[in-house]
Structure 1
């Protein structure tokens, strides 16, 4: 699984944003386009259905690829829970929770609906 980290750039952007707005960033939300920093992953995850890997955690975001039904892969597991994003209905459930991950042997990573991953 290829998961990216933007470290210093994200920290700098967060500090500038906080200084300009007075807002405090919270963990577990995925409002930015950047993937989460991932130092821990959960492996051998198999989607219940084929799911699109998206550039942002919302269904209107660009589809970067597909993670096939039952194909093993991994998700970023630093927060130990999914990230909040856009609302969707997938795999028979409605939610706003998303995981960032990819199928094994793929160079493409993206956001996938949490309801489709048995975690």
Structure 2
């Protein structure tokens, strides 16, 4: 079982091995306010781990790749899997951050607010 992805910039093909989500938050004292007004930075990184033909591992940003094959089947052969009844899947905005979420989402993908 293999998932083949295409790197959008180089058009190279890779085998998808896994995904990951990294979050970070750092704080350092401000020059004037010290610990009372610290400088804070936070964010998240979504990556995929892929393997090239020589077995080398690469860590790529998830937005730079797209899936083109699953188990030797192209995505165009699997279109019936992606058909969703419109009354089942309805989109709305997250009450906390306004991000677009659907009725199937358990938590907001942006702020991680639990929706059900």
For Structure 1 versus Structure 2, the TM-score category normalised by the shorter chain is under 0.3
Q: TM-score, normalised by structure 1?
A: 0.22
Report the structure, 1 or 2, having the larger strand content: 2
Report the structure, 1 or 2, having the larger helix content: 1
Q: Which has the higher relative contact order, 1 or 2, with Cα contacts under 8 A spaced 6 or more apart?
A: 1
